A and B are shown apart, each in its own frame.
Chain A
Amino acid sequence: MQSGDPPRDDRPDPIGRFGAAGWRWLASPVVLQAILALLLVATLLAGVLPQTTPQAGADEARWRLEARARWGRAFDVAEALGVHDVYDSLPYRLLLAALGITAAVRLVGLWAPRWSLPPRHGLSTRRINEPAQAEGDASLARALDAEGLRLVPLGAQDGLRYSAIADRPARRALAGLVYLGVVLLLTAGLMERRLGWEGPVVEVALGEEGALDPAAGLAARLDQIEVRGTPGPNRRLLADFSLWEDGSERDGVRVGPGRPAATGPYLVYLLGQGPAARVEAEGAGGERLPLTWIGGAVTAGDTVRVRFPAAEQEQVVALSGTDRLLEMVHYPSLAAEGIDGPVIHALLREGADGEVLAEGLVTEAGVLDGGDLRVRLTIEYYVRVRAEREPHLPVAALGALALLAGVLGQALWPPRRGWLVTEERADAAHHLLLGPGDGWAERVARATGERE
């Protein structure tokens, strides 16, 4: 626009003014800080109070029972208030939605300066008189250019021209990655809810099978366990599974803690591990005796693998047809006996009168001699696995990378933003510069003749 032309009147209609006010409100720091503060309160509640999904693989019904026993009536009160499920609650989701909207508005404001509006608070104003004949370093445009900034026209109204002062495109792009990252992470969460799938947690010991995706007929058998690390309850296990789907065999997978494996659209995770005992019994003539794990998986055979989950460290196996019971108690270690590692205290009893026939502590493998029969025990491990379909993971990974790059970019090169209101007159242009209190705004004002 030439300086002599009458300024174009871009006065917005009432709807436009309402929209602009709403846009300015959403982009204001106060709104973002209020959302973050409310999220902080909710997150603190979730971190201090027990949540219904404490970790993958936990049995929620059992967790609920234990929590009620531990906290008593306080648990019911908290449950009525809905604070046991903070991350799945409606208020938390609404807060996340609000965060997503404000992040999107801020992203647009950074990447498309025409859509940026000055906040009502937090900016310093400077009056600058630019003589009509101002040239060279004294002109405002030149001073902005020297700072690597440029003017983006926003419109005109009542003889005043409005412009945004925008930073270099690279700096704006980098800074905007923060908000892009937030939007992508929230989108990934939405995708997970709509498109993701999580199978049941399957507990299997060596040689056992489990259905990872019952609907699709995906099943797995634990073929081998490789034990690594020092002895103890948290030894690192690597589990080899063979898989089949609807009767046809698929490639096997090897999974470990923190080491999932991909097979087709599934990712298979090893969620946990625990101690197990392989039990075999034979009669006086060397014949194998059938065994039944009481209270365990409904399998009967001449070899059973008894698992010891954290909440059930005592298990019983019946030696069918002999009226004998094998009672086992697992201990992570028995310092009193000088055993620094997993150990099973095994008792072989008469079923009728409870008389103890044999007793022993088994650390790796051992035999209980009950006179007319022998029971062999070997300590093994069982694992908990789960298959998942996670189409949202690439989006989440992109979001995390964008967020990291964005905060790094903002730390090194904080985006510079400002706004300019200009009144053109014959002898001079009068500017009102809205920007930070110091830094580039101060230098630009000084270079172009700031009016005190």
Chain B
Amino acid sequence: MEGSGVLTIALSLAAGLAWLALALAAGPRAAGRVAIAAAATAALGAAAAAAGRAPLAAPPPTLAGLAFAVGAWSVPAAGHVRTFRRLAVAAGILALGAGAFALSGAWAPVETAAGFGWLALSDAALTLAAGSVLASALGVEDGPPDPGLAARTALVLGVLGLVAYGVGAQRALGAYAPGTPSMSHRLAVLLAIGPVAHEGGAGRAARLAAGLLCVALLLAQAPLAAWLHPEGVAIYP
């Protein structure tokens, strides 16, 4: 296993355990919780970045990125213990999932010859968007600083993810909407986020359903793209 894979596993598992311990601990004050949450969030960011080339196309870094996003939203919600705990538990489970997937070793990152930077930006933005929707469904809307901010941020990140993919695809293929499976998966993520994040957003159940659909799409996109069009993956998935 490459060094980056070991680093991903170690950081994901450490961050996952830290989140779960944080959720169980009743003692630490708000400042302490924020500090520990920030450290675990940074560890997950590093784990996602360490996952290698095409960092978020494979399930382990996708889960690490989702845990990073959910965990990061717990920082402004630290004053609300219930919300904080819900987010910490979710971040912990996602981070442990990332470590477990990486341990399986079955998920090699997809090699891309073109548009690596745009793809990475797109994947990162969409993963953070899905994480923000999950966070909004798990209760961050109850807390400060602004109810609805997580859902609205998800929409910004979703649009950024799709625009980044469009720019990369235009430069690589001469079509900003090439109709590839990856484009469809990314567009579907944005279309799932849009209705629950626009104009004040939707109810918690709708946001949770949208978040889970986004997670499923992001986890499935690399295997699906490879299965549907194996000849298209090498140059631009």
Contact = CB atoms under 8 A, between A and B. Distances in A.
Interface of A: 29, 32-33, 36-37, 39-40, 43-44, 46-51, 53-56, 58, 87, 189, 198, 232-236, 257-260, 267, 269, 271-273, 310-311, 386, 388, 390, 393, 396, 400, 403-404, 407-408, 410-411, 414, 436
A412 to B, nearest CB: 8
B179 A87 contact: yes
B173 interface: yes
Interface in B136-171: 148-149, 152-153, 155-156, 159-160, 163, 166-168, 170-171
B156 A408 contact: yes
A419 to B, nearest CB: 16
Contacts of A388: 174
Given A33-B195, A54-B229, A233-B234, A269 B174 contact: yes
Nearest to B151: A411
A84 B213 CA distance: 23
Contacts of A46: 179, 184
Given A48-B224, A411-B149, A411-B156, A236 B113 contact: yes
A260 B176 CA distance: 13
Nearest to B206: A33
Contacts of B92: none
Given A55-B232, A236-B113, A407 B180 contact: no
A404 B221 CA distance: 24
A55 B217 CA distance: 20
11 contacts: A29-B198, A36-B194, A40-B192, A46-B179, A46-B184, A47-B217, A49-B228, A53-B179, A259-B171, A404-B159, A410-B198
B229 A407 contact: no
A58 B232 contact: yes
Contacts of A310: 231
Contacts, number: 130
Contacts of B148: 414
B234 to A, nearest CB: 6
A324 to B, nearest CB: 33
A390 B111 CA distance: 29
B224 A55 contact: no
Most buried by B among A54, A388, A407: A407
A234 B113 contact: yes
B115 interface: yes
B113 A43 contact: no
B184 A271 contact: no
Given A43-B187, A50-B229, A257-B113, A55 B180 contact: yes
Nearest to A406: B159
Nearest to B175: A56
Contacts of A37: 195
Contacts of B192: 40
Please name the 4 residue pairs, one residue from A and one from B, whose CB atoms are nearest each other, closest first: A47-B184, A257-B114, A411-B152, A258-B114
A264 B188 CA distance: 37
A87 B194 CA distance: 19
Contacts of B224: 47-48
Nearest to A237: B113
A58 B156 contact: no
B185 interface: yes
A59 B179 CA distance: 15
A24 B179 CA distance: 34
Interface string B53-68: 0000000000000000
B180 A29 contact: no
